[in-house]
Amino acid sequence: MVRLLLLCHGNICRSPLAAALIRAAVDADPLLAGRVQVASAGTSDEHLGEGMHAESARILQSRGLPTGHRAQQLTPGLATAQDLILAADRFNIRAAEQQIGAAATRAKVRLLRDFDPAAIGHDLDDPWGFPAAAYERAAREIDAAIPGLLADLHARIGTVTEAQER
């Protein structure tokens, strides 16, 4: 099982949107379904227990995807349980370093958009407080990263499978 955590600031806009979109892609892939666990968290505690932002939920509803979500905060224990943490932006990486330590962060945390060859090193801008178009742009940028992420997950599953066979 590969454990994947999507990380943003408040865990109400970008990370739950990304988690739902990625979970749908993983579930549609017969080689990954049931072998990848996808969750999300925030570096901040300001939205703990809240549902996802209405615009993120609207995008998911328009695609027929579930919108059930409760915001949680990144903790050292949650981070330790993950194989890969994908941060929405560099601010989230710095916040994760403060919360879980720089060495752990370097080993597990990458930018989500690094899986889109056209966007390596680019942040997924926070749409909070902006019109619906900003949420749509975030969804498009997440969608663009999914093929590269799925390829990485395939490689990780292959590695896990080979190690288990030995």
The position carrying tokens 């080689």 is: 31
**Half-sphere exposure of 97 toward its Cβ, with a 13 Å CA cutoff?**
10
Confidence of residue 103 (pLDDT cuts 50, 70, 90): confident
All structural domains of the chain: 2-165 (3.40.50.2300)
pLDDT by residue (tens digit) across 44-92? 999 999 999 999 999 999 999 999 999 999 999 999 999 999 999 999 9
Contact yes or no for 32/16 (Cβ under 8 A): no
pTM, full prediction: 0.93
Strands 109-111 and 36-42: unpaired
pLDDT reported for residue 156 = 94
Residues with catalytic function: 8, 14, 126
According to DSSP, the residues that pair with 5 across neighbouring strands are 39, 85
The 10 Å Cβ neighbour count of residue 128 is 18
